[in-house]
């Protein structure tokens, strides 16, 4: 390998510096790493030198890089054969697999591609975490196939066209969701006692599980078909949620089961039941069709938080047997994310933190009933609604020309006033995102995230 390093640099007219060798050896050692991760590995090489060395090593063909989602480039050694780039969606571990044959023993395919030879698949890492093949790379570093995520692809070559298909009510999207079921005679009343919204047999509901201080812990998309209650939840929180539900059963006639290995969840861009399949309908507010019955209290009704949303998100989540899919073109998750963000609909986990309250995110009404009986966190919900104002508010961010990383600080002058959540490129609006900012920040203030200017469009009202 040392001879290859030396010959490649000489052939391209570059000097054999110790710093270039150190960067190359760090890439070999780390296998897949961002420039900052490489710089952290090399205490005696400054970051700017790392970036310059990476550019040279790419030019001479020793290493290559790819982009995962909206994150920084990930560098790895040039591989003489095409491979799948795998990223675990729970633990973040990265690995690669040959496109053919599949490598046994380390990764196993969950839903193989219908393309031959395969360019992507979904996987489980050795610890059982859901994982994704993100890129199929050629030896020159170019992407051979589409970019994918677990249970669905991020895009199929043209995210903007896919957005337009979904807006027109066509196509479908595979989602990274887990599915839990509740059975037993007490399932409906028992779940109703634990969650923030009223749960009734034969209905579709969004409900939250809060901590004792009213902060959001879990977001449940609930469908009851009369005999079974289906819970569509984020894949990375399903184990913790199931443990919590099991601890709360006591003597109730309820059985909690994780059926994620048997069922997938897909999005359809129509708010209607999908045959006999359990179907969760987006709340009326998100679809611009009215208001979810949510009662009122001394502080008024739920409508005061979000008088109107920036756009509409029309659709449903459908539970289907593993491998079963709707008819029509499959669209990527990037397209759906862009439409969700444009409509000002927060996603718990992406747009929340450990301090998030339902009031800050416009979830009073769609996911929280104001006249419901006691549940954990209900006192905080009622007190803040009746007597106070939430300390933060959700905004739609319009970025100037580029997207920052999710999680970046939002700055007003030299002050941190909030945090970026989800980000996406929208086919009409350009680079957009959701953020949560301090209530005291004026809506006309131009914010900055990683140096990128962003204007605010209120989702949750600035004055309550």
* Choice among 102-106, 268-272, 407-411 with the minimum mean pLDDT: 102-106
Of 116, 74, 125, the closest CA to residue 97 belongs to: 125
Percent of the chain with pLDDT over 90: 66
Quick one: average pLDDT of 393-420? 95
Torsion of CA 309, 315, 316, 321, to 10 degrees: -140
Mean pLDDT of the chain: 85
The string of pLDDT tens digits covering residues 218-242 is: 999 999 999 999 999 999 899 999 9
What is the mean pLDDT of the segment spanning 279-303? 96
Q: Give the mean model confidence (pLDDT) for residues 76-85.
A: 64
* 239-267 mean pLDDT: 95
Write down the pLDDT at residue 149.
31
DSSP string over 118-170: ---EEEE-TTS-EEEEEEEEPTTS-B-S--EETTEES-SS-HHHHHHHHHTT-
Whole-number Cα distances in Å, 312 to 14, 167, 268, 284, 433: 55, 9, 14, 10, 16
pLDDT at 117: 33
Selected residue with higher pLDDT from 83 and 369: 369
- DSSP assignment of 343-358 equals TT---TTTS--TT--G
**pLDDT tens, residue by residue, 15-52:** 889 999 999 999 989 888 888 899 999 988 888 899 89
Residue with the larger pLDDT of the pair 125 and 282: 282
Cα-based torsion angle of the residue sequence 108, 113, 116, 119 in order, rounded to the nearest 10 degrees: -80
Residues 6+ apart with CB under 8 A from 340: 313, 347, 422
């Amino acid at each position: 390998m040392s001879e290859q390093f030396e010959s490649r640099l000489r052939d391209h007219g570059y000097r054999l510096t110790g710093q270039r060798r150190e960067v190359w050896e760090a890439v070999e050692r780390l296998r897949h790493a961002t420039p900052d991760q490489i710089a952290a590995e090399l205490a005696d090489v400054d970051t700017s030198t790392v970036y310059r060395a990476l550019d040279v090593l790419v030019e001479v063909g020793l290493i290559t890089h790819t982009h995962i989602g909206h994150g920084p480039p990930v560098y790895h050694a040039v591989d003489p054969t095409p491979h799948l780039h795998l990223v675990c969606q729970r633990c973040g571990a990265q690995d690669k697999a040959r496109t053919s044959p599949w490598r046994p023993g380390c990764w196993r395919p969950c839903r193989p591609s219908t393309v031959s030879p395969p360019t992507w698949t979904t996987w489980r890492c050795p610890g059982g975490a859901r994982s994704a093949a993100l890129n199929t790379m050629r030896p020159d570093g170019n992407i051979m196939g589409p970019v994918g995520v677990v249970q669905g692809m991020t895009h199929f070559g043209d995210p903007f066209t896919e957005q337009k298909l979904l807006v027109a009510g066509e196509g479908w999207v595979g989602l990274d969701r887990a599915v839990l079921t509740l059975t037993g005679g007490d399932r409906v009343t028992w779940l109703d006692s634990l969650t923030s919204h009223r749960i009734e047999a034969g209905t579709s509901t969004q409900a939250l599980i809060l901590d004792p201080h009213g902060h959001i812990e879990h977001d449940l998309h609930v469908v009851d078909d009369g005999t079974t209650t289906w819970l569509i939840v984020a894949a990375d929180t399903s184990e913790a949620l199931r443990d919590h539900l099991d601890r709360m059963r006591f003597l109730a006639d309820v059985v909690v089961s994780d059926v994620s290995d048997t069922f997938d969840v897909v999005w359809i861009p129509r708010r209607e039941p999908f045959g006999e399949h359990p179907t969760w309908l987006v709340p009326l507010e998100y679809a611009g069709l009215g208001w979810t019955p949510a009662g009122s209290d001394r502080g008024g009704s739920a409508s005061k938080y979000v008088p109107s949303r920036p756009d509409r998100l029309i659709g449903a989540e459908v539970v289907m047997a593993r491998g079963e899919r709707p008819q029509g073109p499959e669209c990527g998750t990037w397209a759906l994310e862009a439409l969700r963000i444009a409509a000002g609909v927060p996603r718990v986990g992406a747009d929340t933190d450990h301090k998030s309250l339902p009031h800050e995110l416009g979830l009073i009404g769609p996911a929280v009933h104001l006249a419901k009986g006691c549940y954990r966190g209900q006192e905080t919900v009622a007190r803040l609604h009746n007597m106070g104002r939430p300390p933060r508010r959700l905004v739609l961010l319009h970025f100037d020309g580029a997207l920052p990383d999710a999680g970046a600080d939002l700055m007003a002058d030299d002050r941190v006033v909030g945090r970026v959540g989800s980000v996406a490129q929208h086919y009409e609006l350009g680079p957009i995102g959701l953020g949560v900012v301090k209530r005291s920040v004026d809506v006309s203030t131009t914010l900055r995230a990683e140096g990128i200017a962003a204007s605010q469009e209120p989702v949750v009202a600035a004055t309550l």
